[in-house]
């Protein structure tokens, strides 16, 4: 939500920022001290598993249950992050984070589907060299890297056995299948001014889905509704950011009501109560 503010603070204090998220940690390792926004770096490539619905027919996605969405094929994660992985909103948020963390223009950040989750991200250079960070899908690896940087320590993770790797595959994400990713990439290209709304609306929508108040396919609809109705303006300080976050959650509550009323899904009860963070209640 506060990428510009955060990175200004990092620069003001002369800090070295050590990313912990596996994709950003991989990019940090592949940059090896090179300035990401410099002429020598051509693009950043973030990999994504594609989640549990990579091959499910798109027309069947409106029947997805919370239990199915939380069954990630690679990473054991909490329920909210598992849903974000299924919708690929997590990858959209990661592209926005990468834009700020590495001072990289949006047009030089790419997302590719890599179901094996062995390559955690890549950096392509102007000489057409591509450096990739590989390893088992285990968060102990990036955590150990950050804890010991610039040294290396044992993370407790088993070695990667190249002889056991059948193949590594890559594909472009289908934005029709992953509309949350599309929305995040639009926010990225527009300068990230709507990233607070994107994040807050998604949190509210995912919570509603996990609690049986919203269909899986309506998560993106709620986020898009909020992006259309929230004011798009740059946030200069943390108070601006928190105010925009609160406003987005109010809009999201209203959008969730509208989506639920439009839906004939049996997961929506006529007596559902929605309570927003600001204490505003609404009944359907």
For residue 79, the enclosing domain spans 1-175
List beta partners, residue 273. Answer: 283
Indicate whether 107 belongs to any domain: yes
Residues 34 and 139 in one domain: yes
- pLDDT exceeds cutoff 60 at 118: yes
Q: Which of 128, 148, 175 is the last residue of a domain?
A: 175
CA distances, 3 to each of 124, 166, 234, 264 (Å) = 23, 39, 11, 39
My answer on whether 39 and 152 are in the same domain is yes
Q: Do residues 47 and 119 share a domain?
A: yes
Q: Yes or no: say if 196 and 5 are a contact pair by the CB < 8 Å rule.
A: no
Q: Given strand 41-48, what is the order of strands in its sheet?
A: 109-113, 41-48, 119-125, 130-134
Q: How far apart are CA 237 and CA 243, in angstroms?
A: 10
Residues 257/236, Cβ–Cβ less than 8 Å: no
In a domain, 182, yes or no: no
Query: Is 170 found in the same domain as 217?
Result: no
pLDDT at 103 over 90: yes
Does 13 share its domain with 121? Answer: yes
> Is residue 183 in a domain?
no
Residue where one domain finishes, among candidates 175, 210, 240: 175
Residue spans of alpha helices (H) in the chain = 3-12, 22-31, 66-69, 79-87, 89-101, 140-148, 179-189, 195-210, 218-229, 238-262
Same domain, 237 and 158: no
Contact 102, 45 (CB under 8 A): no
**Whether residue 240 sits in one domain with residue 141:** no
Is 185 among the domain residues?
Answer: no
pTM over 0.85? The answer is: yes
Give CA torsion, residues 252, 257, 262, 268, to 10 deg.
Answer: 120
Residues 1 and 53 reside in one and the same domain: yes
Residue 264 pLDDT class (50, 70, 90 cuts): low
Q: Which long-range contacts (CB under 8 A, 24 or more apart) does 75-81 make?
A: 75/49, 75/117, 75/137, 79/210, 80/203, 80/206, 80/207, 80/210
Counted domains in the chain? 2
Rounded mean pLDDT, 104-111? 96
149 plus 204 within the same structural domain:
no
80 part of a folded domain: yes
User: Is the residue at 35 inside a domain?
Assistant: yes
Q: How much is the average pLDDT of 65-84?
A: 88
**What pLDDT, in 10s, does the model give residues 149-181?**
999 999 999 999 999 888 999 999 999 999 999
Predicted pLDDT at 71? 87
Same structural domain for residues 202 and 113?
no
Q: Which of 185-199, 216-230, 250-264 has the lowest mean pLDDT?
A: 250-264
Examine the fold and report which residue of 117, 148, 175 is the final residue of a domain before the chain moves on. 175
Domain annotation covers residue 187: no
Q: What CATH number is given to the structural domain containing 200? A: 1.10.1740.10
Label each residue of 161-183 as H, E or C: CHHHCCCCCCECCCCCCCHHHHH
Determine the distance from the C-alpha atom of residue 260 to the mean position of all C-alpha atoms in its chain, rounded to a whole number: 25
Q: Is residue 264 part of a domain?
A: yes
Q: Please check whether residue 242 is in contact with residue 278, taking contact to mean a CB–CB distance below 8 angstroms.
A: no
Residues 144 and 3 in one domain: yes
For range 189-194, the mean pLDDT = 91
According to DSSP, the residues that pair with 132 across neighbouring strands are 122
Pairwise CA distance, residues 100 & 12, whole Å: 15
State the pLDDT confidence band at 101, using cuts at 50, 70 and 90: very high
**263 neighbors 270 (Cβ within 8 angstroms):** no
Tokens of 252: 């999201």
């Amino acid at each position: 939500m506060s990428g510009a503010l955060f990175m200004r603070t990092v620069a003001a204090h002369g800090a070295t920022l050590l990313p912990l998220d596996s994709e950003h940690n991989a990019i940090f390792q592949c940059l090896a001290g090179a300035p990401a926004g410099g002429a020598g770096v051509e693009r950043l490539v973030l990999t994504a598993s594609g989640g549990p619905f990579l091959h499910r027919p798109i027309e069947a996605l409106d029947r997805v249950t919370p239990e199915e969405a939380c069954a990630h094929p690679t990473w054991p994660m909490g329920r909210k992050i598992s849903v974000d992985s299924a919708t690929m909103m997590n990858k959209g948020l990661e592209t926005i984070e990468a834009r700020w963390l590495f001072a990289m223009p949006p047009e030089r950040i790419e997302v590719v589907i890599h179901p094996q989750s062995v390559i955690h991200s890549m950096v392509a250079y102007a000489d057409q060299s591509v450096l990739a960070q590989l390893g088992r899908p285990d968060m102990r690896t990036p955590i150990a890297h950050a804890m010991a940087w610039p040294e290396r320590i044992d993370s407790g993770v088993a070695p990667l056995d190249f002889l056991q790797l059948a193949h590594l595959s890559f594909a472009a994400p289908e934005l029709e299948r992953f509309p949350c990713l599309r929305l995040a990439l639009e926010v990225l290209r527009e300068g990230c001014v709507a990233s607070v709304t994107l994040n807050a609306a998604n949190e509210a929508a995912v919570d509603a889905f996990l609690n049986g108040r919203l269909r899986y396919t309506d998560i993106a609809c709620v986020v898009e509704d909020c992006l259309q109705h929230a004011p798009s303006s740059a946030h200069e300080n943390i108070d601006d950011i928190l105010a925009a976050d609160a406003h987005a959650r109010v809009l999201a509550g209203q959008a969730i009501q509208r989506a639920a009323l439009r839906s004939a899904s049996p997961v929506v009860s006529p007596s559902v109560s929605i309570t927003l963070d600001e204490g505003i209640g609404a009944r359907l």
